[in-house]
Every structure is written in structure tokens, then in C-alpha cells.
Structure 1
Amino acid sequence: MKHILMVSLTITLLISGCGTAEENSSGTEKSPESHQHSLNASKAVKSTALLHVNSAGDNISETSKNNSSENENTNKNGSNKEETFLKILTNYNNMFERIKSDVDYDNFNEEYVGYKFKTIKTKEQLYNQFTDIMTTDMAQTIWSGFVKEGDGSLYLIPRDLYPMFNKDNPYTIEKSNEATYKLVQKHKSELHGIFDMEFVFTKLEGQWKINEISFN
């Protein structure tokens, strides 16, 4: 009986010792001050992480704004060029209207088969009427077949007008380089038939002008 009691006591002491060791090694309770310190450290880490995320987010947002601004500028510049080209082509369509008032339709000259201009005396003077929208060479290409010089005067030969650009029909604008663009439109009319019109715009001395026209 005594032996049994001794064994029981020994087992009880061993169990108590193990419990104390476990409590000291892993189950030791933290003081309120220590627990609060851990919470503060955790909050500081989270705050730093959030600050980093927000900062990165702001940078991305700012980058997006810059990219959007660049895209808007690009679109705006492209749009400005298109508006410029369309304005030039409107003037191209109205070239005949520019000189119409200078033609004396009451005097048809049989020898030169045309109507005499009142103030414009030479072909060069006529070509200069259009140098704000095209090169002199381009004006010559268009108008040389419409006029004839003779007897110190210039005469307008009656004939069908050049093909017109129709802004209501589809067209494309292609960039060749910073100073050259090409506008292409399919022309369709009973007078001229069906073909592609190509207008090449070149920037000369800071001004956009038609430098070439082709009908394919």
C-alpha cells in the first residue's frame, strides 16, 4: 500500500512538472503592456504597407493621367491636321469661284477659244491665285489646260471642271512622315467615272499645301 502511494505521488509530481514546463515554454501569459505593444507594432506594419500601396496607386494614377493627356494631345493634333486638310480641299473645290468674277463672259474670243480675263494677264498670275492651298507646280498641273495666253491677255477655255472632293464620302488619311500626309477617297460621278483620288499634303515653310494630286 505504501509502495502504491509513493508511485502515485511520483506520477502526480511528474505531471505537475510537465505542466509547469509547458506553461513556461509556450503558454506563459503576456502582460497587458506587452500585448498592447504587439498590437501597436502590428498596426504600424499595416499602416506602412497601406502607405506604400496608396503611394504606388497614386503614381499609377498620375502616370495614367499623363498617358491620357498625351493621347488627348495626339488626337487633338491629328484632328487639327484633318481639319486643315479638309479646309484646303474646300478651297480646292472652290478654285473656280475665286476667278469667276474676273472672267468677261460677254466676250468670247474665237481665236483663242475662250473668255477673256479682266485683270489676270498671264498663266503665272493665275497660278499665284492658289498658292495659299497648293504649290505653284500643282496649280500649273490643274490649270494649264483651262487657259490660253494670247494678244497680251489670258483666256479661260470652257471645259468640264476638275474632279471635286466630297467631304461626305469616306476617306482615309495616311501619314508618310512629319511633313507629308496623304488623303485618299474613292471618287464616283457620271462626269468623271469611278477612281481613287489621292491628295498629298506637304508642309512648306510652316504651311500645309497640296503638293500632288493623282487619279487612279
Structure 2
Amino acid sequence: MKKLVAILAIIAFLFVMSPNIIHDSSNVSHTLGIQEKTAIAEDTPQRAELNPEAITAEFMNRLKQETDENYKVLKYNRKSELVNELSEISSKKVAEYYVNGLYQEKGGSLYVIPTELPPWFEQGKEFEMSKINEDSYHMSQKVNNDLYGSYEITAGAERINNQWKITFLNVH
């Protein structure tokens, strides 16, 4: 019981006290379609497990794009194309936030705005996990680096159609 109260207190704190939270509640729940109900009834293969290192690394790998010497992105011409790519592993709101902060469209092409990458999870370091329910977790990590100093980053991950997606991020 104490553990449940502590988890609820942490969740409430994150939502109330954090002004820079990025959250997309549009994907919080969904209605099971006929195919999903059938799959559950037939006891199909086990549901995907959350791997916090993999999902956070994949998000950053997709966010960083190869460019030419003028910072022109080689793979995409529009922000919406990159948002669609990121939306495979995050909510659209999270993808748009990062793409809008790091890229600009000029003359029918997409360019990186020359800047540092935002604060992010460090691979190979411990994550704290809080289980909200079977399909929702919060992942947190305390980071200390030369560029940003000390900060804590928290992400929400939700299983949507048996695939994990980052649905909110908070850095403080």
C-alpha cells in the first residue's frame, strides 16, 4: 500500500509541479478492435515488454538526421515527414515538439538548426521505472554532464497496439 501511495504521489508531483512537461493524452486509452479482441481470445504471442534503453535510444537516433555541409537534411524535405518517422515510437505531440525545436523548412528543404541536442537519457546508466499499469510506465534518470549540468529526465511510455511509444517527456 505504501508503494502505491508513493507512486501516486510521484505521478501527481510530476504533473502538477513541472511546467515544461510534454504530454499527449490522446493515446492514453483506446478501444479494442475486433482483430485485437480475437488475438487476445486466441492467446497469441506474448505482449511486447518495455525496454527503456532501446526506446529512448531509438527516439534520439531517429531525431538526429544526416545532413550535408549546409545542414540540409538528406532523407527528408519536410518537418511532417520526420514527425511521421518519430511518431512510430512516440506520440505525435512529442515528435512535433522536438522536430519544431531542432529543424526548419526553407525553400522546400529541411534544415537542422545548428544547436546542441536537447537533454536526454544517457545509455548504459540506470533507469528508475514506475509501473502505472500493464500498458503504462514512467521512466526516470538522473543525469550529470558537462553541457547541461545536473538534471532529471522523465518519460512516459505506453503500449499502444502492442508497441511502446513515448507519450510525454519532462526535464527538470
Normalising by structure 1, what TM-score?
0.53
RMSD, aligned α-carbons:
2.2
| Alpha-carbon distance, 1:195 to partner | 1.3
5 Å-filtered alignment, 1:196-211, equals 196-211=152-167
How many residue pairs align between the two structures?
127
5 Å-filtered alignment, 1:171-182, equals 171-182=127-138
Structure with more of its chain in helix, by fraction = 1
| Percent of aligned positions that are identical | 26
**2:11 maps to which residue?**
none
8 Å CA contact 1:186–1:197 kept in 2: the answer is yes
5 Å-filtered alignment, 1:82-97, equals 82=50, 84-97=51-64
Q: Which has the larger radius of gyration?
A: 1
Residue by residue over 1:48-90, the C-alpha shift from the partner in whole angstroms, topping out at 9 and shown as x without a partner, is xxxxxxxxxxxxxxxxxxxxxxxxxxxxx9xx734x2321122
Aligned partners of 2:151 and 2:74: how far apart in 1?
Answer: 36
Structure 1 moving runs of 4+ over 3 Å: none
**2:125 maps to which residue?**
169
| Alpha-carbon distance, 1:96 to partner | 4.5
8 Å CA contact 2:63–2:99 kept in 1: the answer is no
Larger relative contact order (CA 8 Å, sep ≥ 6): 2
**1:123 maps to which residue?**
79
User: Alignment partner for residue 68 of structure 2, among 98, 101, 104?
Assistant: 104
- Gap runs ≥5 in structure 1: 1-76, 109-114
Normalising by structure 2, what TM-score?
0.65
- Gap runs ≥5 in structure 2: 1-45
- Which secondary structure state, in structure 1, belongs to the residue aligned with residue 105 of structure 2? strand
1:81 aligned partner, one-letter code = E
2:100 aligned partner, one-letter code = S
8 Å CA contact 2:128–2:141 kept in 1: the answer is yes
**2:170 maps to which residue?**
214
